[in-house]
């Protein structure tokens, strides 16, 4: 008996290792395509107004997005609603224009300014959060905002000393999907 799985019109026969590898590549490609259609929506402080219900926030976001772009496939929260919503679009181009329009419109809800960005894989969000957390810690310790810098491509944090930019910390994801971090000498 051959174990066969069908996902989005792709049939995978897991008895053939070469076919299984090719199908894994196709599935990864589909996952990446789906990821490209998502965007993240929230406000600066506590998401889209925690005092309201998830349904109210979704209705509000749907209304704003339809006003700006005319279409959105779906708005939803991941897991327990914590004031952060996600939206799916028909294309990456529509997603990008919706995010840009939403940013320019400067919407507020419950007294907090709302923001939007492209959704990223959890690994990227974790690394980004870590290095920006280091930057915030440096500013809390008295380093100036413009004396600290984060490289969002390589997930590195730096501060400017009299000798130039000094490496402070970096974040990476291990093969086992754990967040790993490294600190510069003396940190």
For 22-72, write each residue's pLDDT tens digit.
Answer: 666 666 666 655 555 566 555 444 444 445 678 888 888 888 888 887 777
Q: Quick: pLDDT tens for 82-117.
A: 777 888 877 778 888 888 888 888 777 777 777 777
For residues 170 and 63, the model is more confident at 170
Q: Where are the domains of the chain?
A: 4-35, 38-118, 122-183
CB 166 within 8 A of CB 184: yes
Nearest Cα residue to 115 out of 131, 102, 97: 102
pLDDT score for 107: 78
* Measured distance CA(28)–CA(21) in Å, rounded: 11
Higher pLDDT, 18 or 132: 132
Beta strand 156-161 pairing with 148-151: antiparallel
> What percent of the chain is modeled with pLDDT above 90?
10
Burial of residue 135 (number of CB atoms within 10 Å: 0-12, 13-18, 19+): buried
pTM confidence score: 0.54
pLDDT over 60 at 1, yes or no: no
How far from 25 is each of 13, 14, 20, 122, CA to CA, in Å? 14, 13, 9, 20
CA distance 68 to 101: 7
Question: What class is the 38-118 domain?
Answer: alpha beta
């Amino acid at each position: 008996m051959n174990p066969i799985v069908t996902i989005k019109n792709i049939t995978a026969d897991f008895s053939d290792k070469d076919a299984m590898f090719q199908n894994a590549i196709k599935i990864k490609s589909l996952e990446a395509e789906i990821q490209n259609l998502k965007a993240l929506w929230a406000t600066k402080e506590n998401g889209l107004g925690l005092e309201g219900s998830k349904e109210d926030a979704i209705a509000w976001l749907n209304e704003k997005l339809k006003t700006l772009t005319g279409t959105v496939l779906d708005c939803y929260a991941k897991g327990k609603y914590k004031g952060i919503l996600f939206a799916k679009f028909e294309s990456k181009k529509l997603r990008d224009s919706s995010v840009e329009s939403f940013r320019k419109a400067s919407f507020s809800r419950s007294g907090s300014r709302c923001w939007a960005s492209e959704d990223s894989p959890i690994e990227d969000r974790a690394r980004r959060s870590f290095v920006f957390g280091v930057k915030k810690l440096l500013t809390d310790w008295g380093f100036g905002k413009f004396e600290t810098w984060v490289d969002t491509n390589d997930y590195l944090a730096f501060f400017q000393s009299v000798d130039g930019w000094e490496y402070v910390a970096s974040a990476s994801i291990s093969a086992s999907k754990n967040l790993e971090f490294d600190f510069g000498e003396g940190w």
